Amino acid sequence: MKACILSIGDEILSGSTVDTNSNFIAQKLKSIGIAVSEIRTISDDMEVIKNALQQGFQKNDLIITTGGLGPTRDDKTKMAFVEFFGDELVFDEATFENLRQIFKQRNREHLLELNRPQAEIPKSAHIFLNDYGTAPSLLMQKDGKTAICLPGIPSEMKALMRTKIIPHLKNEHQLNFIISRTLTLVNIPESLLAEKIEAWELALPKNLSLSYLPIGNRIKLKITGLGENGREVKTQISDEVEKLHPLISENVISWNGESITEIFATAVFNSGLTLSTAESCTGGEIAKLITSIPGISPFFKGGIVAYETAKKVEILKVSQQTIDTYSVVSQQVAQEMSEGCRQIFDTDIAISTTGVAGPMSDEDGNEIGTVFYSIRVKDFEITKKLFLPHYERKDFMAFVAQKTLQDLVEILTLGKNR
């Protein structure tokens, strides 16, 4: 079964909003074995939406749309569905009752009548009521193909997908399994990796495919398999990963995991060590990445964002003399920050960063894009310097934060001497 996702909204085309909805929908569809062949972001325009539905059905069995279901004039998705499926709107009592409940919860019952059009539903549509917003999700069919529209507000869309759409699709269709597994490698360039595993890659079974994805300075090697029996595909992939062991072991920091945060979580859980952070130029991003991990509480004690130089001295006990001698962006200050951090939080591991995110050089003339970070694991300490002048401020912060987590993973999994 193949699907196409249509993201409807001018705010994405104009660059105001990043489309994260498609990513969530693709993940959820994949989890029940539906492959997404295409994601299209299109304008909130009746003809454009109808055309995209037409084209989407040519190559796919399922179309899922998000966005364009609000009560205002610029929202066109529902009417496009009505016209495309040759249907008409009828007032739906259950949907209106659901609206009433929502407005009641929000103490906004006086606005109910104004939202009455939200309860007008295409006659032939199957309705999934929205527990958190005014626009329900609708499923319509034509020539054995299915289209489902979802609201664009992420929290509403996600709740509907999780609790209603996915269970419905699972129930209605007998689906093929798509299983994938991602290995993460460091310290090897893509071209060399490709050469090392070329023979293995060419000998892969026909239903398995391979992709390389460089992120930061690591490479994600993803093996994807398709088959009627999920367990068999999983075993197939495991067998192939086994064959890779002797070829690439020394570069693998994770044999199964997607994001660096996920890989980091596994490494920390396995280590049983506690940790804390002392951030300057990353401004809380490392702490945020760590605390985004479910179940991290017993391991992560806390962090300090010592943004102003004086706070590095007052809170983290960095010596003023060190700052005067080496400047605040220096190996020495990074080291004293991680030491201070480890003492305050009494943890096994401490990570610190000090650098210049830009857009201006700092008062000591340190160049934009310079950062020193220090990682302590008990008695072991390592400081690294990065220079990333071509990164924008936010990307700089994100890259440095992920790099510190990655380095810590390397220390915990590949050993400290690397």
- Among 136-144, 153-161, 168-176, 241-249, the segment contacting a copy of itself (CB under 8 A): 153-161
Place of tokens 């060399």: 192
* Residue of the chain from 176, 180, 327, 331 that contacts a copy of itself (CB under 8 A): 180
3-class secondary-structure state, position 339 = helix
Q: How far is the CB of 93 from a copy of itself (least distance, A)?
A: 20
d(CA 84, CA 61): 16
288 touches a copy of itself by CB under 8 A: yes
Between 7 and 330, name the residue whose CB sits nearer to a copy of itself.
Answer: 7
* Residue of the chain from 173, 234, 311, 384 that contacts a copy of itself (CB under 8 A): 311
Between 144 and 295, name the residue whose CB sits nearer to a copy of itself.
Answer: 295
* Residue of the chain from 69, 80, 119, 287 that contacts a copy of itself (CB under 8 A): 287
3-class secondary-structure state, position 35 = strand
Q: How far is the CB of 100 from a copy of itself (least distance, A)?
A: 14
Angle, alpha carbons 129-45-103 (nearest 5°): 30
Site string for a copy of itself, 75-114 (x = CB under 8 A): x--------------------------------x--x--x
3-class secondary-structure state, position 50 = helix
Between 92 and 285, name the residue whose CB sits nearer to a copy of itself.
Answer: 285
From 167, 124, 132, select the one nearest 153 (Cα to Cα).
132
From 159, 104, 100, select the one nearest 128 (Cα to Cα).
159
Yes or no: say if 355 and 281 are a contact pair by the CB < 8 Å rule.
yes
- Among 82-90, 213-221, 241-249, 331-339, the segment contacting a copy of itself (CB under 8 A): 213-221
- Among 228-236, 262-270, 329-337, 394-402, the segment contacting a copy of itself (CB under 8 A): 394-402
* Residue of the chain from 101, 187, 229, 292 that contacts a copy of itself (CB under 8 A): 292
357 touches a copy of itself by CB under 8 A: yes
Q: Which amino acid is at 53?
A: L
Q: At what angle do helices 77-84 and 46-59 cross, to 10 degrees?
A: 60
Strands in 177-186's sheet, in edge-to-edge order, are 208-215, 218-227, 177-186, 252-254
Pairing state between β 89-91 and 35-42 = unpaired
Strands (E), 143-243: 145-150, 177-186, 208-215, 218-227
Query: Footprint of a copy of itself on residues 363-392 (CB under 8 A)?
Result: 388, 390-392
Between 147 and 287, name the residue whose CB sits nearer to a copy of itself.
Answer: 287
Query: Footprint of a copy of itself on residues 187-206 (CB under 8 A)?
Result: 189-192, 194-195, 201
DSSP 228: S
23 touches a copy of itself by CB under 8 A: yes
* Residue of the chain from 294, 321, 365, 415 that contacts a copy of itself (CB under 8 A): 294
Between 110 and 417, name the residue whose CB sits nearer to a copy of itself.
Answer: 110
Angle, alpha carbons 249-402-217 (nearest 5°): 50
